[in-house]
């Protein structure tokens, strides 16, 4: 009833700012109008057709900067919570829809990496009759959705639903398969894959390059979030960094028994790359913030810092804690690049690709974080849609 009330508050703007500021241009007024009329299936078809990961984006998008943040209703009151409506529609659609496994009469496509970009391209090309195989280095597909976003924020059951739908469409999935050392790009081409898509994400943690990062009580956030239940962090933990990954690590540590979790950050709240919502929710859960702190050494019983609260008089101080988690971004691994030719990367190790997803090697395409660096899920999906078209055009041109 609450969501129907929300839908009824929508003004159904003719020039909707919410849609204009959605990276994937979701037809929000159209979807809300269908929802109000009880046409859930039709609304779900529109959402899924535009964004195969709509059920995911309804949860993880930074709505305050996109649909909600640009809602006319929000100027003098509360914006429409469209993302909650989107979640209900998208989840019901996935529960009820039965996709047709159309005859696979077109070319073989290899998708390396089952993250947001890879999943999007798999859905699009499988529905068009391409023989799609997803190769993933981990035991389950999902990439950052499953291994980088905590369960409390994004339930794995939703990723499992997407996997079920991919299989329903005839997509083949090879888990625990690291492309590069054993199965190479060259091998895939020799075995008649017409096109290869690389969407392997960014899984190498960036380091602080200070003493102590190899200590046994120091961990990297991207590793910790993959399986937090295996870590023994102790009662108190410090998190170095202030992006969404840092907030996820902090809140996860709190949920896993750490009584005192402190974020150490070199700037103030306005400088943080995490969304305001993530920061506020971290505060509500008892996460402590120590600002203007720059770590200079990690120790077995804490962190040595420079405190710049008084910028004219920086002082050295010691912050005591049992463990430290470093959360200052990630970079790509080179398993594929180091085992193939003609595939260029830039100075940051990211695969070089044009706006359509063409890499420097013909027949190999790239998108997602491994090309752009860490971005939002919806941005990855939006670009992947473009790359899917590029792949189709390439296959058709090669006969």
Q: How far apart are CA 191 and CA 362, in angstroms?
A: 16
- Strands (DSSP E) contained in 31-102 are none
Distance from the Cα of residue 172 to its chain's centroid: 22
CATH number 3.40.309.10 is the correct assignment for the domain at 108-203+332-397:
no
Q: What is the pLDDT of residue 374?
A: 85
Residue located via tokens 């971004």: 329
Per-residue pLDDT tens over the stretch 2-20: 899 999 999 999 999 999 9
Q: How far apart are CA 117 and CA 383, in angstroms?
A: 8
Q: What are phi and psi of 226, to 5 degrees?
A: -65, -35
CATH number 3.50.50.60 is the correct assignment for the domain at 205-330:
yes
In this structure, the chain runs to a length of 399
**DSSP, residue by residue, 248-270:** HHHHHHHHTT-SEEEEE-SS-GG
- Identical fold at 108-203+332-397 and 205-330? yes
Q: What is the pLDDT of residue 334?
A: 81
202: pLDDT strictly greater than 90:
no
Q: What is the pLDDT of residue 2?
A: 85
CATH superfamily of 2-96: Alpha-helical ferredoxin (1.10.1060.10)
Per-residue pLDDT tens over the stretch 323-375: 999 999 888 888 888 888 889 999 888 999 999 999 999 999 999 999 998 88
1: pLDDT strictly greater than 80:
no
Q: What is the pLDDT of residue 373?
A: 87
Provide the pairing of β-strand 330-331 with 204-205.
antiparallel
Higher pLDDT, 339 or 259: 259
Segment holding 175, helix H or strand E: none
Q: Would you kindly state where each structural domain of the chain is located, as residue ranges?
A: 2-96, 108-203+332-397, 205-330
Q: Please, what is the average pLDDT of the chain?
A: 95
What mean pLDDT do residues 273-287 have?
Answer: 95
Higher pLDDT, 272 or 399: 272
């Amino acid at each position: 009833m609450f969501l129907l009330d929300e839908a009824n508050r929508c003004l159904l703007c003719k020039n909707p700012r919410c849609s204009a500021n959605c990276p994937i241009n979701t037809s929000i007024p159209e979807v809300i109008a269908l929802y109000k009329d009880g046409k859930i299936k039709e609304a779900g078809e529109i959402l899924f057709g535009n964004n195969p990961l709509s059920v995911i984006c309804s949860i993880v998008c930074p709505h305050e900067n996109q649909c909600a943040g640009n809602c006319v209703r929000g100027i003098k009151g509360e914006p429409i919570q469209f993302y909650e409506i989107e979640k209900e529609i998208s989840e019901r659609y996935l529960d009820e829809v039965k996709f047709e496994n159309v005859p696979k009469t077109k070319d073989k496509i290899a998708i390396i990496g089952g993250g947001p970009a890879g999943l999007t391209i798999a859905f699009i090309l499988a529905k068009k009759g391409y023989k799609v195989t997803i190769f993933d280095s981990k035991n389950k597909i999902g990439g950052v959705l499953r291994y980088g976003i905590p369960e409390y924020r994004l339930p794995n059951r939703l990723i499992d639903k997407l996997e079920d739908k991919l299989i329903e469409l005839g997509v083949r999935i090879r888990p625990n398969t690291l492309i590069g050392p054993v199965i190479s790009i060259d091998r895939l081409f020799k075995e008649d894959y017409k096109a290869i898509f690389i969407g392997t994400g960014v899984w190498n943690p960036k380091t602080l390059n200070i003493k102590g990062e190899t200590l046994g009580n120091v961990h990297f956030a991207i590793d910790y979030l993959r399986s937090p239940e295996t870590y023994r962090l102790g009662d108190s933990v410090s998190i170095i960094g202030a992006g969404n990954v840092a907030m996820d690590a902090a809140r996860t540590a709190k949920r896993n028994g750490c009584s005192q979790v402190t974020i150490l950050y070199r700037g103030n709240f306005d400088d943080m790359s995490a969304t305001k919502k993530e920061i506020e929710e971290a505060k509500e859960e008892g996460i402590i913030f120590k600002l203007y702190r720059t770590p200079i050494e990690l120790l077995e019983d804490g962190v040595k810092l420079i405190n710049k609260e008084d910028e004219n008089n920086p002082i050295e101080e010691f912050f005591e804690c049992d463990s430290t988690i470093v959360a200052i971004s990630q970079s790509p691994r080179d398993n594929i690049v180091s085992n193939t030719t003609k595939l260029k990367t830039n100075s940051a190790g990211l695969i070089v690709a044009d706006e359509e997803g063409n890499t420097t090697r013909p027949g190999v395409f790239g998108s997602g974080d491994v090309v752009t660096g860490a971005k939002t899920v919806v941005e990855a999906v939006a670009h992947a849609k473009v790359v899917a078209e590029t792949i189709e055009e390439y296959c058709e041109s090669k006969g």
